[in-house]
Amino acid sequence: MACFPGSSGSPILIVNKGSYTDKKKNAVVIGSRVIFLGILFGGPIYNSEGKIVVKDIPTRQEVVSITPQMINLGYYIKSEVILDFKEKIGGIIGE
């Protein structure tokens, strides 16, 4: 899935409309389903050429180009463990 800055907190779902295969891929099930996989919380980035900045190097100053780039991958919290955060988050927000 495409993940980008600002999409953290988004639900991650599998949506099958009309039909889908069973877990063993042996039969087609007629109907629809929605499976909640978890919540997106971040993603890796890499740097590529782009913005020019002046950077101190121990023996001299050198101009380098650094641009953070998303790679459209995401880290997520699995649905099975989301409620494990309830106690920690409740303490932070005062519940």
Angle 43-48-50 (CA atoms, 0-180°, nearest 5)?
120
Average pLDDT, the chain: 82
pTM: 0.62
Ordered by start, the domain boundaries in the chain are 11-93
Residue 91 confidence (pLDDT) above 90: no
Per-residue pLDDT, averaged over 46-56, amounts to 69
Which band of pLDDT confidence, cut at 50, 70 and 90, is reported for residue 43?
confident
DSSP 4-62: -TT-TT-EEEEEE-SEEE-TTS--EEES-EEEEEEEEEE--EEEEEEEEEEEEETTEEE
When pLDDT is averaged across residues 75-91 and rounded to a whole number, the result is 84
Residues 64-82, mean pLDDT to the nearest whole number: 83
Strand partners, 19: 30
pLDDT band at 39 (very low <50, low <70, confident <90, very high): very high
